Amino acid sequence: MREKVKPEIKFEEIPGPEELELEKMPYEEYCRKIFDPKKTFEKPEALKGIRWLSCTMYIFTPHSVSNLAELGAEVIKVEMPRAGDPMRHTSPFNEAYLYPLHDTRPFTGTGYGYFHANLNEYYISLDYHRPEAREIVYNLVRMSDGLTECYRPGTFHRWGIGYKQLCEINPRFIYVWGGGFGYGPKVFGGSYDILGQAQGGLASITGFHEDFGGHPVKHTNWVIDWYSGTMITVGVLAALYWRRKTGLGTMIEFSQVHCATRACGYGVPLYGRFGIVRQRWGNWDTQLCVHGIIRTGKSDYPNDPNPQLREEAKYVMVSAFQDEDFRELCYVIGRPDLWEKYKTHKERLKPEAQIEIYGALEQWASDKTRSEVVDILTDAGLLAMPVMNDKEVYECQHFRERGTIRWIEDPIFGDVLVHGGFSVGLLSETPRRVRWVWRPVGADNVRVYHELLGYPISQIKEWYDKGII
Question: Which residues of the chain form contacts with other proteins (CB under 8 A)?
Answer: 94-100, 102-104, 106-109, 125, 305-306, 400, 407, 409, 411-417, 439-447, 449, 457, 460-461, 463-464, 469
- Distance of alpha carbon 225 from alpha carbon 178, whole angstroms: 11
Instruction: Give the nearest distance from C-beta 450 to other proteins in angstroms.
Output: 9
Q: Within a 10 A sphere around the Cβ of 96, how many other Cβ atoms? A: 13
Least distance in Å: CB of 459 to other proteins? Answer: 10
**Least Å distance between CB 433 and other proteins?**
16
The least distance separating other proteins from the CB of residue 462, rounded to whole angstroms, comes to 10
Among candidate residues 328, 329, 348, the one with its CA nearest the CA of residue 287: 348
> CB-wise, 28 or 409, nearer to other proteins?
409
- DSSP code, position 58: T
Hey, what's the torsion of the CAs at 237, 403, 292, 375, to 10 degrees? 160
Nearer of residues 164 and 435 to other proteins, judged by Cβ: 435
Contact indicator for 259, 224 with CB cutoff of 8 Å: yes
For other proteins, give the closer residue by CB, 23 or 395. Answer: 395
Q: Which is nearer to other proteins, 310 or 345 (CB)?
A: 310
Least distance (Å) from other proteins to the CB of residue 443? 4
Which CA distances in Å does 250 have to 35, 226, 244?
34, 23, 12
C-alpha dihedral, 73 to 78 to 232 to 89, nearest 10°? 120
Closest CB to other proteins among residues 99, 183: 99
Name which of 248 and 457 has its Cβ closer to other proteins: 457
Residue 254 near residue 177 (C-beta atoms within 8 A): yes
Shortest distance, position 395 Cβ to other proteins, whole Å: 8
Query: Cα separations (Å) of 422 from 37, 70, 248, 405?
Result: 10, 9, 31, 7
Q: With respect to other proteins, which residue has the nearer C-beta, 286 or 423?
A: 423
Nearest distance from C-beta of residue 190 to other proteins, angstroms: 23
Could you give the 3-state DSSP secondary structure of residue 9? coil
The 10 Å Cβ neighbour count of residue 26 is 8
CB neighbours of residue 152 within 10 Å: 14
Single-letter amino acid, residue 31: C
